Amino acid sequence: MKKVLTIAGSDSCGGAGVQADLKTMSAIGVYGMSVITAVTAQNTMGVFDVLEIDKSMVAKQIQCIFEDIEVDAVKIGMVSNAEIINTIGECLIKYKAKNIVIDPVMVSKSGYFLLKKEAINEMKNLISMADVVTPNIPEAEVLSGIHITSEDDMKRSAEIIAKLGAKSVLVKGGHRCNDANDISFNGKKFITLEGERVNTKNTHGTGCTLSSAIASFLAKGFSLDEALSLSKKYINEAIKNSFSIGKGVGPVGHFIDLYKKGGIKYE
């Protein structure tokens, strides 16, 4: 079984962050491992507090994994400050990490800033190591410095972000009002990954889930284009089968196939 490491924050309600990553990895059929960068106090209503993990502990977690287990892919999610970002970068170089997927998480759906503004330049440096970086439209606007209102804008921002050094950029279109298509750019060509706009409020953890799916499929040996296509299909189905667990924004259906086979009602 292939092994995939997520380096990200913990979500106490289980819909996003490390918890969503591990669910996604399990659903796709790889063994998920985790390095915690922060502990969040959150539920379906929003993020209420964040406790960052000391950079030395982040480094020690990474060391323990790489010195014992072969890591087939790495997904990086919430990393809140410059020290942690730099530490992760140093570790990725030291252990020659492969199949690196970075989800540049900046702001939660409830508006909580998860990446400190003074750490954006360090995030750009980390992105230079990525095989794939997966910003949504607000994140792509920050990273590229342009306002995005159309597919052409998405393509232009992808080109700018690619110049940071990432081998491939996937600009996610979920924040657009007319479609949910994503744009992939590998430095040479663009690919449109078609999505379906689903009428649901329950989209907690979609970015975490998609990036973890990409890392999982890369670990299993799929090409980049195949991994992106399979991951888009997975997240489309997960959103279609999302459900409510509280008063606010519920999670996507990570284990929908398993639930259906087991006759489990999740609505």
Which residues are annotated as catalytic? 172, 203, 205-208
Q: How do strand 46-52 and strand 73-76 relate by DSSP bridges?
A: unpaired
Could you tell me the CA-to-CA distances from 113 to 79, 125, 258 in Å, in that order?
A: 11, 20, 34
| H or E element in which residue 244 lies | none
Q: In whole angstroms, give the CA distance from residue 212 to residue 231.
A: 9
The amino acid occupying position 118 is: E
**Measured between alpha carbons, how far is 103 from 140 in angstroms, rounded to an integer?**
11
What CA–CA distances, in Å, run from 232 to 25, 44, 94, 195?
14, 24, 31, 7
Q: With helix as H, strand as E and coil as C, how does 30-91 read? A: CEEEEEEEEEEEEECCEEEEEEECCHHHHHHHHHHHHCCCCCCEEEECCCCCHHHHHHHHHH
